[in-house]
Structure 1
Amino acid sequence: MPDGVIFRESEPERGDELLEQIGLSREAAKHIGIYARRAFNNTSPMEPISAPGVNAWNKGTEALRNTLVPREGWKVGRNLGIESAVNHEKKLQLIYQNVRRACTFSDPQPLSPRGSVSRRMINDGTSDMFGSAPLDDLRPKELSYTVWLVCVCHVNDNLSVEVSRPKRFDGAWYDGFHERIFIIDSPLEELLAQTSPTTPEPVESNDPDIYDVDVTPKSFPA
């Protein structure tokens, strides 16, 4: 049974405060979900059976980065092969995640089991959301950063999006969340009619890390 704090759409004030601290607006999170869902829906039936989820993950990650990276302090992150947006000043990482459910009483869960890399990324983060790692911490600095997930559900006819902070877990699935911020759970058709299919322009950056891809063996993100 979930024991984290849930901030629902109907009572957004505290959730909005957290989003402001993170640097992600409610409207931006909604548009990340819409952009990913368009990619999911537009998958050709001739593509492999895993293509809808893969396409949604690709475009959801793109939209997340196009939203955050142009802002001060944010960069493309791919530490240990995990694709994210990272803020070294705030010591935060945001990761796009396809999930089986969102904005329900039950915790969101990914479409496929989490591997050791994802588990380490979340478990090694500091328990204080904006705390600092010890001075003698020799791990890659991103491993001491708090992880938030932009969770998007593509299972039903609604678009369901939440921004949530997972707790430490030992197995292949998330084992609870500290906070869950419900962004939207509305009929997809209405949302698509209200919004443009575009996402912010591709990020232009002189940061070599954007193109310096360190390939490591791991399971493909869901």
Structure 2
Amino acid sequence: MPALFISNPIEIDHRLSDLGWTRKEMLEIIDAMVSARYSCTENDPTSAPGWMAWKEGTRRMRELGRRHGFENSDEDQIPWLCDTSRGRRFSVANTNDATGHEHRLPQNRNRKGAATDRVVAENEAMLFNEAELPEMVKPLNVARPNPGMVQSWYLCVNADGDSVTAELSCPVAIEGGYFVGFHERIVLIAPGEDGPDVTKLTDGDPGAEDFDIPVSKKS
């Protein structure tokens, strides 16, 4: 079944509100991720841009979400922000240039492990009626008032040169550690739209210079 693809601005705002967010908050998280990625230079480790984007996106999502009463969780070593009362949780992911395209499916840039396989399996299981639920699917153990399955959402962000696209999406299929199917996709920055206004540092920029630390000898 094709994913529900939401790209109309009014529908986007309504759906985000249903999930406990505003578009402004989502854009703040995206801005944090893109700014962190572009703060890296060629002298950083090759993994730094992705890691920095993931780290800063996680931090900003948690800062904003906790204002709504959401809670931090590191269930299965994945950094989540949980709306335990409604059985939802959110995380961030660096994704490829298919992000935001209606007729393409975004994929995570780095291969996910068994924990994400379980997350996606649980999302998929929520599409079944209880009688149709596959026996192999076991709900994750996430603290919440009533035991049960939790719907997991990823803020997918692609930043490639001057192009930024983003969507909040619920994956329901994964193969070889990469997302291959979604139940719902909410477009936040579509292809061709303006993304965050950030400047990419190069090693010649003042912000990328090394700092000399004065050292004095003890007398």
- TM-score bucket (shorter structure): 0.7 to 0.9
Cα distance in 2 for residues equivalent to 1:12 and 1:49: 36
- Asked if the contact 1:28/1:67 (under 8 Å) is kept, the reply is yes
Structure 1, unaligned runs of 5 or more:
194-222
The 3 A distance-change label for structure 1 pair 170 and 67 is same
Partner in structure 2 of residue 3 of structure 1: 2
Partner in structure 2 of residue 140 of structure 1: 141
Q: State whether structure 2 residue 172 is matched by structure 1 residue 177.
A: no
Structure 2, unaligned runs of 5 or more:
199-219
Cα distance in 1 for residues equivalent to 2:56 and 2:83: 20
Cα distance in 2 for residues equivalent to 1:75 and 1:184: 26
CA shift for structure 1 position 140: 0.9
Range 152-161 or range 93-102, more displaced:
152-161
- Aligned partner letter, 1:146: Q
Q: Identity of paired residues, percent?
A: 21
CA shift for structure 1 position 13: 2.8
TM-score (norm 2): 0.75
Q: State whether structure 2 residue 106 is matched by structure 1 residue 108.
A: yes
Cα distance in 1 for residues equivalent to 2:32 and 2:142: 30
- Aligned partner letter, 1:166: P
Q: State whether structure 2 residue 170 is matched by structure 1 residue 165.
A: yes
CA shift for structure 1 position 164: 0.7
Compute the RMSD of aligned alpha carbons: 2.5
Cα distance in 1 for residues equivalent to 2:194 and 2:139: 47
Q: State whether structure 2 residue 18 is matched by structure 1 residue 21.
A: yes
State which structure, 1 or 2, has the greater radius of gyration over its C-alpha atoms.
2
Q: State whether structure 2 residue 127 is matched by structure 1 residue 122.
A: no
- Secondary structure, in 3 states, of the residue corresponding to 2:170? strand
1:14-58 deviation line (CA, Å, top 9, x unaligned): 332221111111111111111111110011322211101100100
Partner in structure 1 of residue 55 of structure 2: 58
The 3 A distance-change label for structure 1 pair 138 and 53 is closer
- Asked if the contact 1:29/1:161 (under 8 Å) is kept, the reply is no
- Aligned partner letter, 2:71: K
Cα distance in 1 for residues equivalent to 2:139 and 2:54: 31
Partner in structure 2 of residue 149 of structure 1: 154
The 3 A distance-change label for structure 1 pair 18 and 44 is same
- Secondary structure, in 3 states, of the residue corresponding to 1:63? helix
The 3 A distance-change label for structure 1 pair 29 and 175 is same
- Aligned partner letter, 2:2: D
- Asked if the contact 1:33/1:159 (under 8 Å) is kept, the reply is no
The 3 A distance-change label for structure 1 pair 158 and 46 is same
TM-score (norm 1): 0.74
- Aligned partner letter, 2:156: C
CA shift for structure 1 position 139: 4.8
Aligned length: 182
